[in-house]
Every structure is written in structure tokens, then in C-alpha cells.
Structure 1
Amino acid sequence: MSWKTAHRSFYYANAEEPEDIRLDPASTALLVIDVQNTYLEPKETEEETRRWEPFYSRMRETVIPNNARLIADCRQRGVEVIFARIACHKPDGRDRSLSQKKPGFNYLLLPKDRADSQVVPELAPRDDEIQVLKTTDSALTGTNLRLMLRNMGIRDVICTGIFTDQCVSSTVRSLADESFGVVVVEDCCAAATMELHRHELAIINMIYCHVVELRELRDFFVSA
């Protein structure tokens, strides 16, 4: 099944196939969202760590290697590579949004210079690559990413990262609302479970973005 018919929700089950995607490297950016050290660390208990093992496996075996390949390909093509990461400026985290202060899974205290808030080493940004620090789910909300994209002449954004149903989805929706073309690379993303991952892809596909596989993405780039 190709990207044109995969990940269809009820709303788009009978919709016509979309037109071919064409990405000009000069006006395209890759946005890697929240692939940070903290999310690969063991949980507080062995039982909870075991519960998250399918996510860890997908990250190690699929998401991180595929993102590394995609980043290398984008750098070679001249596509702007940008990283977003959750990171607060104040050590006590009082600059965080309410969603990151609430107890539970979304509670995050990640001071910007601490090791666990950094992008994983396998995907380390280069010195001239933008890192957007955010205290929100969406990488556009509360940051100047929107302005930077416009300043650089970016029209299309390729989104990857975690979590599909949270920060990836929020960012995709924000980008779509700002009239950017958005492509989400399915096998460069992960949610806590594959059920959540697939469900969210069906929700955002066709209206906020187009969901594709990494193997398909390479055919979308136009030659200079």
C-alpha cells in the first residue's frame, strides 16, 4: 500500500488520491522533534521499564536509525535540518507551560543544558543547525520557529520524532494552520504504543499532513 491510500481515517476513507508530493530542497526543512536522551532512560521501576520496552525497541531499531539516514540524506540535498527539544531556561522549570507542570507522564523538568535534555548522540545537531527549545508541545507555540522558517523561505516541513500523538501531532497541526506543507515520516516516529501511533497518524493524515514511509520520501525531492 502506498502513502496515497494508507493511514486513512473515516473522514477520508473514500477520498480521491492526493496529488504527487514535490519537495524543493531549497524551500524544505526537516524538523526532528524531541528525540532526547531522557526518553531512552530506564523508568523508576523495573516493572515500568518492562512496560515501555516495545517503545525502547522501536526507538533503537527503527526510529533513531531511520532518522540518522534521513538527516544525512537531507544534509546532502541541502535541506535545512532543524531540531526541536523540550527544555526550560530556568533550573526550577517555572517557565514551563502548564501541561509540563502537571503531575503524570507529561510532567517534565529538563533544564536546557542538562544531559538528559539533549538530542540523542546518534542524531547530534551540527553547529550551524537550529535547535528550538520549547516548553510546549508544539514547536511553533511559544518559539520563533515560525519566523525563522518564513525568513529562510521554507514552504514545506518534514516532521519526525516523538511522541506521534503528542508533540509531533501538535507541531503538525500548528504548521498546517500556518499554511506550511507538512509531511510526516511514519517510520521515523514513535508513540508509547503502536496503537497510539497508528491511531494518531490516521487522525492527522490527509488534513494536516501527508503520512509517508522513509523509502517513499526520497522520490518526492525535485532536482535543482
Structure 2
Amino acid sequence: MKDALLLIDLHAGFFTSETLKLARKNLVEASNKLIAAARDNGVPVFLITTEHSRDRSTWTLNMLDDDQGYLFHNDPSAELVEGLDTKDVTRVEKTRDSAWFGTDLDLRIRNLDVDRVVVAGVSTHGCIAQTVRDAYARNIRTAIASDAIADDRESYQDIMLEQLVDDRQTQLHAVDEVIQMWASDH
């Protein structure tokens, strides 16, 4: 099985809630561990980021309803979380929850003959869940690195993970298990 690593929305702006502030250090460490192992084992790494335009053309419905955008180009909130190792990663920019919607991620994954993506980052109930579901719709297997994800609504995270696993749309693996799988495939 050929894997790729998708790191979702590791922006400074997402780490403002108390829950995510507390999770930030461990999440960055786990993400960096995955990135290093991916490099060592020839696994492509995609940094999936969100960036919106000030002209409202990329805003989601809730942003339009609230008349409040965020994650604008060159804003501090759109910067990557401090300490994340981004050397030699491929960046894919999105404007919706799913990393697949309106991006060229599908083309990139297919060109690399990837048949499973390992997903990490934030927020589990939103962007991670939608990315996993859309991968499933494309017949691409997924695994969520269970100790490399976070959500400011922890109860939502637990419910979402249970649903995704019960629906057989993903598997959960700890970071060390993912690394072991990559090493044994290499």
C-alpha cells in the first residue's frame, strides 16, 4: 500500500481556544515525528492549508452570515503554527473543510499512485472528518493518526471518530503505529 501524509490546517489561528492551546505542543511534536518518518520512508507529505480572500469570494456560508472572514493572506492567523517542520512538504491550499474540494489534491494523489492517506491536524469534527469522507468517496483509504489530531470540541471529536470507524471510512492508528507501518513497507 502506498501512503501519503496529509497535515490539515495547522494554522496559528486555529490554536486560540484553550483546548487547542493546550494541545498545540503535543500536536506539533506528533506532526513533526510523522513528517520525519515520512521523509525517511519516501512517503509524500502534503500540508493542507486554508486561506481566504478579503473580497468574500472564498468565504463559507457561516462566514458570510456572520460577515466575518478569517485566515487571510499575510494575516498572523494564517501563519503556520510555530515549530512545524515544513521542509520539503507540498502545500495545497483550500477554502472549504475538505482538502479535496476545489483543490488539485486528487490529481496529485493519483499521479503518485497513492491508495491511502494518513491524516493528522485539526479540527477532527470538521476538516479532518470531511477530508476523510471525501477520500472514501474517491475510493482512497484513510488512516487517522489518533494522537496527532485535535479539536476544540473534544466530545465532537470522539463522536466523529466513532462514526468514521463504524462506517468503515477510516482506521485509527497511533503515530508510532503509522511509523512502524511505513518502515515495514519500505
TM > 0.5 between the two? yes
Question: What residue number does 1:161 align with?
Answer: 121
- Give the structure 1 partner of residue 91 of structure 2: 131
Aligned to 2:185: 223
Q: Partner of 2:59: helix, strand, or coil?
A: coil
Show the counterpart of 2:4: 29
41, 53, 58: which is aligned to 1:95?
58
Taking every aligned residue pair, what percent have the same amino acid on both sides? 23
> For residues 156 and 177 of structure 2, what CA distance do their matches in structure 1 show?
23
Q: Which residue of 2 aligns with 1:142?
A: 102
Query: What is the distance in 1 between the residues matched to 2:18 and 2:82?
Result: 20
| CA–CA separation in structure 1 for the residues paired with 2:48 and 2:65 | 21
- Once residues 162 and 185 of structure 2 are traced to their aligned partners in structure 1, the CA distance between those partners, rounded to angstroms, is 31
Query: What does 1:36-75 align with in structure 2 at a 5 Å threshold?
Result: 36-41=11-16, 52-60=17-25, 62-75=26-39
Q: Would you say 1:214 and 2:178 are equivalent positions?
A: no
- The one-letter code matched in structure 2 to 1:36 is H
Query: In structure 2, do the counterparts of structure 1 residues 156 and 100 end up closer, same or farther at CA, with 3 Å as the change threshold?
Result: farther
Task: Decide which structure has the larger Cα Rg and report it.
Answer: 1
2:94 maps to a residue whose letter is K
For normalisation by structure 1, the TM-score amounts to 0.75
Residues 189-215 of structure 1: per-residue CA shift (max 9 Å, x gap):
011132222111101115111012112
Distance 1:108 1:71, change over 3 A: farther
Report the TM-score when normalising by structure 2.
0.89
- In the TM superposition, residue 183 of structure 1 has moved relative to its aligned partner by 0.3
Distance in structure 2 (CA, Å) of the matches to 1:146 and 1:153: 11
Flag as ranges the 4+ runs of structure 1 deviating above 4 A: none
- Alignment-mate amino acid for residue 42 of structure 2: G
Amino acid at match of 2:20: F
Aligned match of 2:43: 79
Alpha-carbon distance in structure 2 between the residues aligned to 1:150 and 1:133: 18
Decide whether the 8 Å contact of 2:38 with 2:44 is kept in 1.
yes
> What is the count of residue pairs matched by the alignment?
184
For 1:100 and 1:145, the matched residues in 2 are separated by 24
Q: What CA distance in whole angstroms lies between the structure 2 residues aligned with 1:99 and 1:140?
A: 20
Q: Are 2:100 and 2:134, in contact at CA under 8 Å, matched by a contact in 1?
A: yes
CA drift at 1:98: 2.5
How far apart are the structure 2 equivalents of 1:55 and 1:115? 17
What is the CA RMSD across the aligned residues, in angstroms? 1.9
Contact kept? 1:93, 1:110, Cα under 8 Å: no
Kindly tell me: are residues 36 and 191 of structure 1, through their superposed partners in 2, closer, same or farther at Cα, counting changes over 3 Å?
Answer: same
2:91 is equivalent to residue 121 of structure 1: no
The amino acid of 2:146's aligned partner reads E
Q: Would the alpha carbon gap of residues 67 and 185 (structure 1) be closer, same or farther in structure 2, given more than 3 Å must change?
A: same
- Give 1:125 deviation, angstroms: 1.9
